[in-house]
């Protein structure tokens, strides 16, 4: 890495376009003859559509068509039943899109949507997750392909024999991803070919899905994704908006723009499943864990199985001779849950890292020290040494930066006027994975280079990071490199998700650049364009299976008003060990963004479901509270200089998700330290604290 662009702070390449409003998002491209689609949600939870009467809608000014299961173009039944839209009269959940109204203006389409009359035969429904739900079952495996349950040693015996035990149950509500930009698409058909400008996290996979659904060769589908206003997992695969827009455009034979409303993001695009998690920990008198059990319950839909890997975090985080994890699911009449930033690890770490805090209190040792005592160099799950594990270093550095040493361990030991002040800590970890990817690199006679790869930059700075990586791999200053991303016509790349984007993409970029260098005259430019390509499938596939993880330590200080129960964050500090950091500017924004989202989870967010209607009633940002700027008084993220040779050529572990893991636990633990009150169902809001007798 001679030129040294990697590791240096660069502003985002497209930053100027974004802040001046010229960066184009999916429904902002000028398109001749464009029309507008409006998705119509079902008004019942479960049942069948018996009649669609479009007459009134069609009579409304500007309305061109009402597309529904009776007249929609046919789709091939694919592996994603959620995407088999407008194909059948069945309703699986309230809010499922059952029609699209197309009109010459957005307003006319919306009014048309209101005028479509739909009759249903509605059946009874079940939409609330409980730990005694009669439908609880054991899935075959959990996401993406982990075993459902694991057991090592004899948990029951180990637990029973231990001098210190904690047996606690935590609950988390549904969380809704809520990216700034909703799921949105402009779809156009030309001569049997489909072009979509779409907001997603992986244009290559969206193309594959559309090709499958519309039974087209992949070359006939092009997905352009230049800029994306966030996704947090919810845009990881093709979702309803792109399918509806393509269906509607084909039906009216005109380009269609379709953007979901904020309300429509609460459900149909996926959400983080509610969880009920029982954690049992047992330790000896020194706090060394002897038994760990994590039983997680979550929900899925009747359409397909989505089994959140909630307790997987617990399998590798701390060691103990007796360990057990289980996952149970219930199929409810709800939209299918989906990925949300650190699926599995995020809710799972909230439970385990909270329980560790409870154990620290029970044993009477410092919670940082408890974690250090239970560190392990060998993955308890795989039985092999971690390629690198710097949890303890993160804890130590974090404790020092945070000023942990001054902490009086006794709850309620600090007061500042009417505020009770407390601090908390949690561990954090996230797997470091990579997927096959391809890229090309081209050298031009003028000395410049072009790297082409279908990376999706969902706002993270991926474009900039790959540009830096390419410059170093080419051994030239980054100013001589151009990068082209966000178009499925470019070499195929995996999704921006699972904290494996940077690892996977940089791998292919580096290999392509290396191949190109091999073709170039020593020290000079070619006399015509010279290109090289790389596909990392074999290399990635051939990598040994080793436990590769990023680690972190989260620290939080909160204040709780002793009479009103208001909870506010004073400060939050995270230290992470995530391999090579490519761009400190964008890395920091990922880490503090994740931490802020964890704060939001701890104190604010809650999808409130009304069982009678079967949907979330607080489906807008005025009532579904997300942490605001004023809630983040001080937040700091640091990272260790970590080198791990067992990862990938760039040596990165990924940082998109680890920032959220453990963050909610650190805050919940701080609330307990401040008040002596342990709230085990999130969010921790004033209504759970005000009037609680221990508080005052």
| Contacting residues toward other proteins, per CB under 8 A | 43, 61, 107, 110-111, 114, 263, 418, 563-566, 568, 603-604, 608, 610, 612-613, 617-620, 622-623, 625, 627-631, 685-687, 690-691
How far is Cα 354 from Cα 517, in angstroms, rounded to an integer? 51
The least distance separating other proteins from the CB of residue 563, rounded to whole angstroms, comes to 4
Q: Give strand ranges (E) for 56-183.
A: 63-68, 90-91, 97-103, 117-122, 141-142, 146-147, 150-152, 164-172
The least distance separating other proteins from the CB of residue 420, rounded to whole angstroms, comes to 14
Closer CB to other proteins, residue 443 or residue 560?
A: 560
Exposed e or buried b per residue across 383-419, where buried means at least 16 C-beta atoms within 10 angstroms of its C-beta: eeebbbbbbbebbbbbbeebebeebeeebbebeeeeb
The least distance separating other proteins from the CB of residue 333, rounded to whole angstroms, comes to 16
| Residue tagged active-site, from 181, 308, 657, 694 | 657
Fill in the DSSP letter of residue 296: E
3-state secondary structure of 355: helix
Closer CB to other proteins, residue 569 or residue 658?
A: 569
The length of the chain, given as a count of residues? 696
How far is Cα 86 from Cα 71, in angstroms, rounded to an integer? 8
Reply yes or no on whether 657 is catalytic. yes
The least distance separating other proteins from the CB of residue 111, rounded to whole angstroms, comes to 6
Closer CB to other proteins, residue 53 or residue 620?
A: 620
Q: Which of 9, 28, 29, 21 is nearest to 461 (CA)?
A: 9
Residue 439 pairs with which residues in a beta bridge?
534
Closer CB to other proteins, residue 13 or residue 118?
A: 118
Query: DSSP readout, 394-457?
Result: HHHHHHHHHTGGG---STT-EEETTEEEEEEEEEEEEE------EEEEEE-TTS-EEEE-----
The least distance separating other proteins from the CB of residue 340, rounded to whole angstroms, comes to 20
Q: Which of 201, 335, 198, 333 is nearest to 268 (CA)?
A: 335
The least distance separating other proteins from the CB of residue 96, rounded to whole angstroms, comes to 13
Closer CB to other proteins, residue 168 or residue 632?
A: 632
Closer CB to other proteins, residue 2 or residue 105?
A: 105
Exposed e or buried b per residue across 148-163, where buried means at least 16 C-beta atoms within 10 angstroms of its C-beta: bebebeebeebbeebe
Cβ neighbours, 10 Å, residue 134: 8
Q: Which residues contact 230 (CB under 8 A, 6 or more apart)?
A: 179, 180, 181, 458, 459
Fill in the DSSP letter of residue 146: E
Closer CB to other proteins, residue 51 or residue 114?
A: 114
The tokens for 262 are 């904020």
The least distance separating other proteins from the CB of residue 368, rounded to whole angstroms, comes to 28
Which of the residues are catalytic?
657
């Amino acid at each position: 890495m001679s030129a040294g662009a990697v590791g240096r702070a660069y502003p985002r390449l497209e930053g100027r376009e974004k802040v001046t409003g010229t960066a184009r998002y999916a429904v902002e491209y000028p398109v001749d003859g464009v029309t507008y689609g409006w998705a119509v949600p079902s008004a019942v939870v479960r049942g069948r559509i018996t009649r669609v009467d479009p007459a009134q809608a069609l009579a409304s000014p500007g309305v061109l068509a009402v597309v529904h299961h009776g007249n929609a173009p046919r789709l091939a039944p694919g592996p994603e039943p959620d995407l088999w839209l407008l194909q059948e009269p069945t309703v699986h959940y309230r809010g499922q899109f059952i029609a699209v109204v197309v009109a010459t203006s957005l307003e006319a389409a919306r009014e048309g949507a209101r005028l479509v009359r739909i009759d249903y035969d509605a059946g009874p429904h079940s939409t609330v997750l409980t730990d005694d739900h009669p439908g609880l079952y054991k899935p075959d495996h959990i996401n993406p392909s982990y075993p459902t349950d694991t057991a090592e040693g004899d948990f029951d015996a180990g637990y029973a024999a231990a001098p210190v035990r904690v047996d606690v149950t935590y609950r988390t509500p549904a969380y809704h991803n809520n990216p700034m930009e909703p799921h949105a698409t402009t779809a156009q058909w030309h001569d049997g070919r489909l072009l979509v400008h779409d907001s997603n996290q992986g244009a290559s996979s969206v193309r594959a899905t559309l090709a499958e659904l519309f039974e087209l060769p992949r070359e006939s589908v092009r997905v352009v994704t230049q800029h994306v206003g966030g996704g947090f997992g919810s845009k990881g695969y093709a979702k309803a908006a792109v399918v509806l827009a393509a269906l509607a455009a084909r039906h009216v034979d005109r380009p269609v723009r379709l953007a979901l409303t904020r309300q429509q993001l609460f459900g149909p695009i996926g959400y983080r499943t509610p969880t009920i998690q029982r954690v049992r920990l047992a330790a000896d008198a020194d706090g060394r864990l002897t038994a760990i059990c994590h039983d997680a319950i979550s929900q899925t839909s009747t359409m397909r199985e989505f089994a959140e890997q909630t307790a997987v975090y617990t399998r590798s985080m701390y060691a103990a001779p007796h360990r057990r994890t289980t996952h149970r699911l219930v199929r409810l009449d709800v939209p299918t849950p989906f990925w949300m930033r650190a699926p599995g690890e995020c809710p799972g770490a909230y439970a385990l890292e909270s329980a560790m805090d409870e154990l620290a209190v029970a044993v009477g040792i410092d919670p940082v020290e408890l974690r250090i005592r239970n560190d392990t160099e060998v993955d308890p799950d795989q039985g092999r040494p971690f390629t690198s594990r710097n949890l303890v270093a993160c804890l130590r550095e974090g404790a020092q930066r945070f000023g942990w040493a001054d902490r009086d361990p006794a709850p309620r030991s600090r007061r500042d006027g009417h505020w009770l002040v407390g601090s908390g800590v949690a561990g954090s970890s996230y797997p470091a994975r990579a997927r096959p990817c391809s890229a090309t690199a081209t050298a031009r006679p003028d000395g410049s280079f072009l790297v082409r790869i279908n990376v999706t930059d969902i706002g993270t700075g991926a474009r900039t990071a790959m540009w830096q990586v390419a410059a170093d791999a080419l051994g030239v200053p980054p100013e001589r490199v151009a990068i082209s991303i966000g178009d499925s016509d470019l070499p195929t790349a995996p999704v921006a998700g699972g904290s494996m984007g940077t690892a996977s993409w940089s791998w292919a970029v580096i290999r392509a650049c290396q191949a190109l260098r091999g073709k170039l005259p020593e020290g000079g430019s070619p006399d015509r364009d010279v290109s090289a390509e790389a596909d990392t499938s074999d290399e990635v596939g051939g990598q040994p299976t080793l436990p590769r993880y990023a680690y972190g330590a989260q620290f939080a200080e909160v204040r709780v008003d002793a009479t009103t129960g208001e909870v506010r964050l004073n400060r939050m500090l995270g230290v992470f060990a995530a391999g090579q950091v490519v761009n400190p500017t964008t890395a920091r924004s990922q880490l503090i963004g994740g931490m802020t989202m964890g704060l939001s989870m701890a104190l604010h967010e809650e999808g409130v479901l009304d069982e009678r209607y079967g949907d979330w009633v607080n489906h807008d940002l005025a009532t579904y509270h997300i942490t605001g700027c004023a809630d983040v008084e001080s937040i700091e993220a640091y990272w260790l200089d970590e080198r791990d040779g067992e990862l990938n050529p760039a040596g990165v572990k990924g940082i998109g998700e680890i920032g959220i893991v453990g963050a909610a636990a650190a805050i919940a633990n701080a609330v307990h330290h401040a008040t002596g009150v342990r709230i085990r169902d999130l969010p921790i809001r004033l209504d759970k604290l005000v009037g609680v007798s221990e508080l005052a």
